[in-house]
Amino acid sequence: RSPRHKRNYILSFAFAFDKEEDTYYFAYCYPYTYTYLQKFLSHIEAQNFDFLQREVLCRTVQHRRIDLLTITSPQPLNDKKQTKRVIFITARVHPGESPASFMCHGLLSFLVCDHPYAKILRNNLVFKIVPMLNPDGVFLGNYRCSSMGYDLNRHWLNPDPWAHAPILHTRKLLLELAADPNVPLDFFID
């Protein structure tokens, strides 16, 4: 606790810049880049799983992909009267929140693996996953905003088709799913 800062906790550290000609970077978390995501998605797509569909939901201002992954077993539920419930997951609307990408990466890795629980989930649910909503901001190293300087999380109610395309298309898909009486949209989390 710091007596100079109203007894609040303060984290401080010292770093010795020993090579003046070097460039130094500090990050609160290990980076998870757009390129790394694309390589990972290409890798799992190349496995040709019958339960995985990858599509481009839209493109960003800087023409980067907004991927939509659908993960579910192609077989219907045993009870023909029931429909698989839909779980919708998005991540990385704020570029600085790289732990969200690691969480999403782990979730995707689990959902496509051979573990019996992963098979149960695929057999009973439909997962719709947008793993990176703000790849332009991630690519540029922004912390909270897009390439245009917008906090995309503040534009869900009235997204601009050009400046907030990832939000617009994700919102449109969510509203379509919610309005369809044949699609039980059960859960959405960002």
Confidence of residue 38 (pLDDT cuts 50, 70, 90): very high
Write down the pTM of the prediction.
0.88
- Round to whole Å and give the CA distance between 57 and 74: 21
Residue 121 CB burial class (10 angstroms; 0-12, 13-18, ≥19): middle
Place of tokens 């303060």: 10
Question: Could you tell me which of 122, 103, 104, 102 has the C-alpha nearest to residue 112?
Answer: 122
117 class by beta-carbon count within 10 Å (0-12 exposed, 13-18 middle, 19+ buried):
exposed
pLDDT tens digit sequence for 97-108: 999 999 999 999
pLDDT digits (tens, 9 = 90+) for 117-165: 999 999 999 999 999 999 999 999 999 999 999 999 999 999 999 999 9
